[in-house]
Structure 1
Amino acid sequence: MKPHLLAMLLVVLPGLSFCQNGQHPNILFILSDDHSAPHLSCYGDPNIHTPNIDAIAHHGVRFTQMYTGSPQCVPSRATLMTGRNAVDIRMTRFSAPLPADIVTFPELLRSAGYYTGIQGRSYHLDGSGRQSPEAAAVFDEFQLRTFHRRVDFLQTGPDEENLNVMRSFLESVPDSKPFFLWVNYSNPHRPYTAPAEFLPAPGSLVLPPDYPDTENLRKDLAAYYGEIQQLDEQVGLLLNELRDRGLMENTLIIFMGDNGAALLRGKGTLYQAGLRVPLILRWDKGIKQGTVSDALLSGEDLAPTVLTIAGVPPDKQMSGRSFKELLHGGDYAATDYIFAQRGAHADMLPTSTNAFDLSRSVMGKRYKLIYNVLPTLSYTPTDMNGQAFWRELVALNNDGALDASFRRLIFARPRPMFELFDLEKDPYELNNLYGNNELASQQQQLLAALNKWMIRYQDFVPLPIDLNNVKK
């Protein structure tokens, strides 16, 4: 037996008897795609109405400071599934398959007696669905697609099929077993195709302060909100199915976004809109209802939390920490810092930051540092550089007609190598404080923390502390 499989069995054995006595909750993990935290009505967004997702929060706990390990689908999902950062598990390249030797939390649940499944939009961890013949041949030769062996049930497909696929999954669950089901949604990922009935009026939208107010931008943002409101209706169907089957009371429901929205300064960046996502949990048997937590959390923390709730010891390689105690109002000592990374995106040549960028970030309870390893690359938004609103902004900038603040935030060239933000005073990250003498101590602490993380996990980019400027 391979050493890592033996270790996994030894880890989960203590949970087997607990599983057999029927105390485990079922687990439904609903993951939306490209969904920043502000964009739900339960998070206070005035532009949207999401009653079904809000109901999960009303009956459970809503987290306001959950940050994914990456602003991109593949490395972020790899972090969620493994409880480890993308650098550590060799998942910084977008189309990389999750290595077979890296254990996921559904595998640990399965070994402890759970019936496990994945459905919906691509889960992104068996390589890209769009591969060259050369890449596909490599995947076949080395058997790099592994998830059909990691779970009991695997069926991808469009959002509108998720309800029927979930029904098929539930019908296949053995009577004696609890279940884990990961339901992936495409919404609100581009392209935006929601029917007009879901779209708010563009002119009624309240824009954040880092968005230029143009007609095309408003139309694009309204279409994004339409995707989320359509998603909310679809989530409601899943919840009704649980209720109709009498499964609501003992099912842990997790709703989360995989990374930030494909909007300005969002997906593909390490700003708040790229990393901060909604996280809401409901479990009628085990969660204090109507709770809001401001604890600083990382995507790495999800796997150990789910395992702990299920009575299964987390894998010892997991760097995330369980926040189970927060679910019933208990004490929880949040970590001092959380980290994120940006790398290649999709299967494109590195011709812009849409396709390729290298950046790292470290965030504490108040201050955040971003390290742009390639600052000479000008910002090109991920997954939306062909949209009308972006072409318009580029034209306005080229003509000198764009406000100076937006030219600095969006079109600075070169970009600053380091950015430091006071998130308490500046939640939209409008003012770069790097080099401010009054914050020299905080700046150095963040640089040291990032330096330590990069060395510990053998990061391949240059370290952020310049030895030429270190005092002898």
Structure 2
Amino acid sequence: MSRVNIGLIFTILSLLSNALFAGPGKKEKQNQPNILFILSDDHSVPFLGCYGYPIKTPNLDKLAKEGILYKRANTTAPQCVLSRAAIMTGRSTLDIRMTRFTAPLSADFVSYPELLRKGGYYTGISGRNFHLNGARNTAVSDEVFDKYNLETFKNRVDYLKTTGNIDSIYYQYNDFLNKVPKGKPFFLQLGYTDPHRIFNAKEFEPDPDTIKVPEGWPDTKLLRKDFAGYLGEIQRLDHEVGKVFEELKRRGLDKKTLVVFMGDNGGALVRGKGTLYNTGLNIPLIMRHPDLIKPGQVSNILVSGEDIAPTILQVAGIAAPKEFTGVSVAPSFQGKPFQAHEYIYAVRGAHGSGLPTNTAHFDLGRTIISDRYKLIYNALWQLPYYPVDFSGQPFWLELQQLHNEGKLEEKWDKLLFSERRSMFELFDEQADPNEFNNLAGKPEYKEIEEKLKGKLQEWMILNEDYLPLPVAPRPK
């Protein structure tokens, strides 16, 4: 299907959605819901109570009970900058040229808060740094950013403040609400640092000896201690989000506001952040609005980070641009049969600001996910896995030492310390949710592997990907 036809389909869907959510008259336009988009940092499924994990998150569990929980939501990259760029623009990470971690989002690409602003909303971004103005990490970067005016977000929203202090996040939230003009709907992206490392929510940490270690990880005392720190951050996050909900209710806004809670990418955990495995891509996504969303739903549809922008715009009664590659998931709000995607895609690009000394800083990969299978294409397959954000942590150093001494269990040794990776990995997500068993190259899965490679190649071509294509060329 050509890009023109895809754009026409999205335009028609947007027009239909406007009629559904906004109606044709000005009276309906005045009833646009407020939108509160809460973004946690480095947050993987299943680490919330409502996703079935034994952790105390009563406020987010209540949000899920009152709305819809998506079990198969995936970000477009296992890294914050790349993922957030797609969320902000409703377009694939490749399509908007955001595969380098320190890049600023170009003014050429419209963000959905800008469209909300034009549609009558008072808009804001606050809390955790949103990452999309680029990184000023060298004198050269400073000079280039200033010379070409590359920091654009001050022009994209009405209210722009960032902080890493958890108390200041709540202050900015209230400050924003106080500044919303009377009679105007609002949109706010409220970002949290939790559960990003460093783990320091000591008063919220569970007992390491009592926690449930995921099946896909080696169970050691030091890993338990580290993981307890991660869970503590999530429990603190839930506590803070509860305060946000209470303030919304105190102001009489809770029944007039679409609340969206989402993780920006997977956690800095074993085979998580920086990888194209589930722990790197599969994130919590919950939405609630008393009038628009049937409560108590659990959805298994495939959702991409690209879908957030068109969904929010549809709820606001604003047409999504034809350039958007995401699809609104609003048709799922009432529990009717709906499939947003047959396939979703994600990329792995440069991470952080470091030089390419290992695959934590620089790795290149692509993935395609269907209803049942996932294919990962490791373009730098010759290089071993190197963890993002925790290579110096005691639990990892211990695992590394056990590997060096030949004492680590073979299962974990192969998964974590192989000298090189497979170029292609194919997983049956139903039979093997931990992604242990690589089916690529097995004759009985040849047809599935070839089909997924073909679909991935089609997507890479349409998105003008710079990586070598995954389907081997014909012999000459």
2:459 corresponds to 1:418: no
2:325 corresponds in structure 1 to 319
2: CA distance, partners of 1:166 / 1:41:
25
Confirm or deny: 8 A CA contact 2:315 2:330 kept in the other structure.
yes
2: CA distance, partners of 1:366 / 1:404:
28
- CA deviation after TM superposition for structure 1 residue 20, in Å: 6.8
1:198 corresponds in structure 2 to 204
Q: Deviations over 1:282-322 (max 9, x none)?
A: 11121101111000111111110110111001111000111
2: CA distance, partners of 1:396 / 1:427:
26
2:139 corresponds to 1:133: yes
Q: TM-score, normalised by structure 2?
A: 0.94
Query: Which amino acid in structure 1 is aligned with residue 34 of structure 2?
Result: N
Q: State which of 217, 235, 238 in structure 2 corresponds to 1:232.
A: 238
Q: State which of 245, 249, 258 in structure 1 corresponds to 2:255.
A: 249
1: CA distance, partners of 2:188 / 2:291:
19
1:3 corresponds in structure 2 to none
- CA deviation after TM superposition for structure 1 residue 377, in Å: 1.3
Q: Deviations over 1:33-68 (max 9, x none)?
A: 00001000100012x110011111011000000000
Query: Which amino acid in structure 1 is aligned with residue 171 of structure 2?
Result: N
2:363 corresponds to 1:357: yes
Secondary structure in 1 aligned to 2:260? strand
1:261 corresponds in structure 2 to 267
2: CA distance, partners of 1:244 / 1:423:
43
- CA deviation after TM superposition for structure 1 residue 159, in Å: 2.2
Secondary structure in 1 aligned to 2:446? helix
2: CA distance, partners of 1:364 / 1:465:
18
Secondary structure in 1 aligned to 2:71? strand
1: CA distance, partners of 2:186 / 2:80:
25
2:82 corresponds in structure 1 to 75
Secondary structure in 2 aligned to 1:180? strand
1:168 corresponds in structure 2 to 175
After superposition, residues 444-463 of structure 1 pair within 5 angstroms as 444-463=450-469
Q: Deviations over 1:127-146 (max 9, x none)?
A: 12x51111011001000000
User: What CA RMSD, in Å, does the superposition of the two structures yield over aligned residues?
Assistant: 1.7
After superposition, residues 71-150 of structure 1 pair within 5 angstroms as 71-128=78-135, 130-150=136-156
> Which range moves more in the overlay, 267-276 or 406-415?
406-415
2:49 corresponds to 1:44: no
Query: Which amino acid in structure 1 is aligned with residue 237 of structure 2?
Result: L
Secondary structure in 2 aligned to 1:204? coil
2: CA distance, partners of 1:244 / 1:260:
33
Q: Deviations over 1:404-444 (max 9, x none)?
A: 11111111121111000000000000100001111111111
1:31 corresponds in structure 2 to 39
1:429 corresponds in structure 2 to 435
- CA deviation after TM superposition for structure 1 residue 333, in Å: 2.5
Query: Which amino acid in structure 1 is aligned with residue 437 of structure 2?
Result: N
Confirm or deny: 8 A CA contact 2:29 2:317 kept in the other structure.
no
2:339 corresponds to 1:333: yes
Query: Which amino acid in structure 2 is aligned with residue 178 of structure 1?
Result: P
1: CA distance, partners of 2:233 / 2:158:
30
Confirm or deny: 8 A CA contact 2:72 2:301 kept in the other structure.
yes
Query: Which amino acid in structure 2 is aligned with residue 379 of structure 1?
Result: Y
Aligned length: 458
2:290 corresponds to 1:284: yes
1: CA distance, partners of 2:324 / 2:29:
27
The share of aligned pairs that are identical, in percent, is: 50
Confirm or deny: 8 A CA contact 1:19 1:113 kept in the other structure.
no
Confirm or deny: 8 A CA contact 1:75 1:86 kept in the other structure.
yes
Q: State which of 396, 399, 415 in structure 2 corresponds to 1:409.
A: 415
Change (3 A) 1:400 1:104: same
Q: State which of 395, 398, 402 in structure 2 corresponds to 1:392.
A: 398
Query: Which amino acid in structure 2 is aligned with residue 359 of structure 1?
Result: G
2:3 corresponds in structure 1 to none
> Where does structure 1 differ by over 3 angstroms across 4 or more consecutive aligned residues?
11-21
1: CA distance, partners of 2:101 / 2:414:
28
Query: Which amino acid in structure 2 is aligned with residue 206 of structure 1?
Result: K
Query: Which amino acid in structure 1 is aligned with residue 125 of structure 2?
Result: I
1: CA distance, partners of 2:240 / 2:460:
40
Query: Which amino acid in structure 1 is aligned with residue 56 of structure 2?
Result: H
Q: TM-score, normalised by structure 1?
A: 0.95
Confirm or deny: 8 A CA contact 1:53 1:232 kept in the other structure.
yes
Query: Which amino acid in structure 2 is aligned with residue 241 of structure 1?
Result: E
Q: State which of 245, 248, 271 in structure 1 corresponds to 2:277.
A: 271
2: CA distance, partners of 1:387 / 1:163:
30
2: CA distance, partners of 1:24 / 1:292:
25
Secondary structure in 2 aligned to 1:287? coil
- CA deviation after TM superposition for structure 1 residue 209, in Å: 2.1
- CA deviation after TM superposition for structure 1 residue 17, in Å: 5.6
Confirm or deny: 8 A CA contact 1:18 1:311 kept in the other structure.
no
- CA deviation after TM superposition for structure 1 residue 160, in Å: 1.9
Q: Deviations over 1:363-400 (max 9, x none)?
A: 10001000000011111110111111111111000111
Confirm or deny: 8 A CA contact 2:381 2:420 kept in the other structure.
yes
Query: Which amino acid in structure 2 is aligned with residue 253 of structure 1?
Result: V
After superposition, residues 45-60 of structure 1 pair within 5 angstroms as 45-46=53-54, 48-60=55-67
- CA deviation after TM superposition for structure 1 residue 255, in Å: 0.4
Query: Which amino acid in structure 2 is aligned with residue 120 of structure 1?
Result: G
2: CA distance, partners of 1:213 / 1:53:
28
Query: Which amino acid in structure 2 is aligned with residue 35 of structure 1?
Result: H
Confirm or deny: 8 A CA contact 1:119 1:156 kept in the other structure.
yes
